[in-house]
Amino acid sequence: MNKIDERIEGFTIFPPTMRRYDLVHAFNRIPVGRAPYLIGFESHLPRAFSLESTAYFKALTKSLAGKRCRGVVAISRYSERIFRKTHADSAMAEELYEKLEMRYPNIEIPAVEDQAPDLNGPLQLVFVGHHFARKGGCVAVRLAELAQEAGVDMRITIVSGLAMGGAIWTDPAREEYYETWADRLEGSNITHHPSLPNDQVQTLLRGAHFCLLPTFGDTFGYSAIEAMANHCPMIATRQGALPEFIEDDSNGILLDLPVDGDGDWIHSSSPDRDTPGFERMFTDEIERLAETALTRVVDYLNNPARYRALRIEARRTVETTFAATDANEFWDRRYEEAVG
């Protein structure tokens, strides 16, 4: 429905089918129909941004509280916290909270040994993200420049379709702001791919010293799990759900970002995104994050034992928190409960 209006993405309509389903497992969007459902979500539920006082929002909430909904599953403590805050004053809060639980997402963990790239060669960093500015691509570019200026042998591979600005809620809105950033992708220590097949991205991650996600706005950061599953520690910002599984100086590097009580960047969805003042602030944040990242990376360059420990702990975190085997057992049991 968000193809009609991006504000009404809170529900989904499935194509007509003769088949009857015992249960629908939905994600983010409430399924229309008669079948009972479980629903997972990454941030807000219902997804009806700026429509919280409308009859539309109330109708979606009523569906969540009703008999068709057999469970509301937050994929992080971050999303669970937002759900509780959203419905704290609702007349249906008791029914909603009774259905609420938290379960992290899962992946098939690749059976790969740690390639342990040499710290004596060029430092290899990887950034993956279609929303270039929001996910920290500008930070990656500036980090490459600072490393070159400091004489640090660093190569950064960027995989991005370079979507930025406009309606993206964290970004400076004006297209003109990004003209120089696009040009700077031509730096001698930067390789840019508009896109790559997933298997090639996995190969990049296995050979990288760090994966970059210095994001200004991510609910979870699935790419972080993929990187860590390949023994590659993250450089990420302390926002959204990322601090729940990335621990600074244990399995990765966390860069501080000013956030609100929910864990979101304080400048997200700012009404000033099209102003020079917002652009200056955004540029200053890019500079600060890039400078901090370079300092932290060089520290590990000078301490190989600490760096190796990061890689070991990154992989262990994924094995203990996001393994598909444990998740399959959980969901099999949960589905039986939902239809029983």
CB atoms within 10 A of CB 67: 7
Tens of pLDDT, residue by residue over 167-179, are: 999 999 999 999 9
Whether 2 shows a pLDDT value over 90: the answer reads no
pLDDT at 216: 99
Tens of pLDDT, residue by residue over 197-242, are: 999 999 999 999 999 999 999 999 999 999 999 999 999 999 999 9
pLDDT at 4: 46
CA-wise closest residue to 228 among 74, 109, 327, 128:
109
Percent of the chain with pLDDT over 90: 88
- Phi and psi dihedrals of 281, rounded to 5? -60, -45
All structural domains of the chain: 11-106+328-339 (no CATH), 123-321 (3.40.50.2000)
pLDDT at 182: 87
DSSP conformation class of 14: P
Tens of pLDDT, residue by residue over 250-302, are: 999 999 999 999 999 999 999 999 999 999 999 999 999 999 999 999 999 99
Tens of pLDDT, residue by residue over 71-113, are: 999 999 999 999 999 999 999 999 999 999 999 999 999 999 9
| pLDDT tier for residue 13 given thresholds of 50, 70 and 90 | low
Tens of pLDDT, residue by residue over 105-155, are: 999 999 999 998 999 889 999 999 999 999 999 999 999 999 999 999 999
| pLDDT tier for residue 3 given thresholds of 50, 70 and 90 | very low
Whether 54 shows a pLDDT value over 80: the answer reads yes
